[in-house]
């Protein structure tokens, strides 16, 4: 699921960035461009966004497995659960008090932590994602939403867009990714 001997880590990292970009475009289409009155189209676009996010989740699992296999797996499980809650929400089957942000906040924190512990991506990306994850969790509080909604959304967009763009443009430090993967296999 992650970079292999046949596929260089940078090729996979850039592919992950492109899939992540696709998610952003589909999510923006669903939220901003499809009018609320076009419910069926909007729900279809939201389902497509969740499908792409599931792909991003699985790709990130492979990318960060050399850093910490268990933490990467936990992050993937949390993200998949959030996607399931979101998909159930599209069909009005999710419990009303359960928000996908309960899962995506911790997912951002875990991916941020994995980036901070990695040697192949800039630590600032990890710090931004950890901050965004904490913001998404805080966003669940009505008092915080009223006070900081735009700031939290802006931080989340900045963090995720920075990671996405870094992966598309720069990829990962291949030598360091290989070293970290080699250390993991040696254990």
Whether the pLDDT of residue 3 is over 60: the answer is no
Cβ count within 10 A of residue 151: 12
Instruction: Quote the CA–CA distance of 102 and 133 in Å, as a whole number.
Output: 10
What are the tens digits of pLDDT across the range 20-55?
Answer: 999 999 988 877 766 777 878 888 888 999 999 999
Whether the pLDDT of residue 6 is over 60: the answer is no
Instruction: Quote the CA–CA distance of 112 and 126 in Å, as a whole number.
Output: 4
Of 5-14, 70-79, 90-99, 173-182, the range with the lowest mean pLDDT is: 5-14
Domain ranges of the chain: 9-179
pLDDT mean across residues, the chain? 89
More confident residue, 145 or 101: 101
Residue 27, helix vs strand vs coil: helix
Instruction: Quote the CA–CA distance of 27 and 141 in Å, as a whole number.
Output: 23
pLDDT in the model for residue 184: 66
pLDDT in the model for residue 183: 76
pLDDT classification of 108: cutoffs 50, 70, 90: very high
Q: Rounded mean pLDDT of 55-84?
A: 96
Cβ count within 10 A of residue 83: 22
pLDDT in the model for residue 154: 92
Closest CA to 174 of 16, 18, 10: 10
């Amino acid at each position: 699921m992650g970079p292999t001997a046949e596929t260089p880590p940078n090729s996979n990292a850039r592919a992950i960035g492109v899939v992540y970009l696709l998610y952003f475009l589909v999510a923006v289409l669903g939220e901003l461009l499809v009018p609320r009155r076009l419910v069926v189209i909007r729900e279809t676009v939201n389902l497509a966004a969740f499908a792409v996010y599931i792909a991003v989740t699985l790709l990130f699992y492979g990318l960060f497995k050399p850093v910490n296999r268990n933490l990467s797996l936990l992050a993937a499980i949390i993200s998949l659960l959030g996607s399931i809650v979101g998909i159930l929400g599209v069909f009005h089957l999710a419990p009303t008090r359960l928000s996908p942000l309960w899962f995506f906040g911790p997912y951002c924190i875990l991916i941020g932590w994995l980036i901070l512990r990695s040697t192949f991506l800039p630590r600032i990306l990890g710090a931004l994602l950890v901050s965004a994850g904490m913001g998404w969790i805080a966003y669940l509080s009505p008092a915080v939403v009223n006070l900081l909604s735009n700031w939290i959304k802006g931080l989340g967009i900045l963090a995720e867009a920075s990671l996405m763009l870094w992966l598309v443009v720069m990829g990962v430090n291949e030598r360091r990714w290989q070293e970290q993967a080699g250390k993991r296999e040696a254990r």
